[in-house]
Amino acid sequence: MKIAVLIKQVPDTEEDRHLAANGVVDRAASDRVADEITERALEVALKKKDADKNVEIVAVTMGPATATEALRKALSLGADSAVHIQDDELVGADALTTARALSGALKDGAFDVIIAGNESTDGRGGVVPAMVAEFLGLAFLGPLNAVDFNDEKVTGERQNAEGTQTISAALPAVLAITESTGEARFPKFKGIMTAKRKPIAVHTAVALGLHGNNHSAGNVVISAAKRPARSAGTKMIDEGNAAAQLADYLSAENLI
């Protein structure tokens, strides 16, 4: 089995994050780390590799030269090789361009499963995995709180307003997992040293067939502003009916 895991380097959520004048994330304003949700996606693949040593894992990312750091961490955790899409032409790419580039790097890889986090901590778009599946013509399952797959089929659980839904599809498929699938492991010293010798293939936009309108943004940022401060929450005054108020509120929010 061959598994691709989509990795992303993001600004550290423990630090202040800022937008540049053109509305894109200022990645130089804070430390860069591998997005935790993508490490959890890698953990799903690593658990499969723990059970079957024949499983091959390829970490894939798109980003500047510094994104190699995130790939090296993925390699230290147990990925076998990595692919880095790196090109100044792709700086500030939107979700559509990102998905097109990722699918270009994945299309000839003969992957059985492609695993991603449901949404990154910087963009919060939550659409790239589904877009990748569309470009590749594969089934998409997500966002999954639990997942299991064998050589032929993947089955997962996702939450909706009515409860838990179980879905399945034949492989190959693209999966988007949530934090509920479990925490990522920590790299060991041996893994860190071994990662230095594992291969990272670098692709440019042209090499992936992205040129002209093929990598034009699907949208244009007109303006960008900081999110306003959060407004005060709903207050409930207990006049003997607080329990009823709470029940009505939870029901209105589809929480019960």
Q: What is the pLDDT of residues 119-159, one digit of tens each?
A: 998 877 899 999 999 999 999 999 999 999 999 999 999 99
* Long-range pairs for 188-197: beta carbons < 8 A, 24 or more residues apart: 188/76, 191/75, 191/76, 191/77, 191/78, 192/76, 194/75, 194/76, 195/72, 195/73, 195/75, 195/76, 196/72
Question: For residue 150, what pLDDT is reported?
Answer: 94
Q: Is residue 18 predicted with pLDDT exceeding 70?
A: no
Q: Which residue has the tokens 């659409």?
A: 127
Tens digits of residue pLDDT in 38-83: 999 999 999 999 999 999 999 999 999 999 999 999 999 999 999 9
For residues 139-157, one letter each, b for 16 or more C-beta atoms within 10 angstroms of the residue's C-beta and e for the rest, the string is: bbbbbbbbbebeeeebebb
More confident site: 152 or 224: 152
Question: For residue 216, what pLDDT is reported?
Answer: 58
> How far apart are alpha carbons 9 and 11 in whole angstroms?
7
Mean local confidence (pLDDT), 194-214:
87
Q: Which two tokens stand for residue 24?
A: 């894109």
CATH code of the domain made up of 2-228: 3.40.50.620
Q: Is residue 240 predicted with pLDDT exceeding 70?
A: yes
DSSP string, 130-180: HHHHHHHT-EEEEEESEEEE-SSEEEEEEEETTEEEEEEEESSEEEEE-GG
Mean local confidence (pLDDT), 81-91:
93
> How far apart are alpha carbons 23 and 33 in whole angstroms?
21
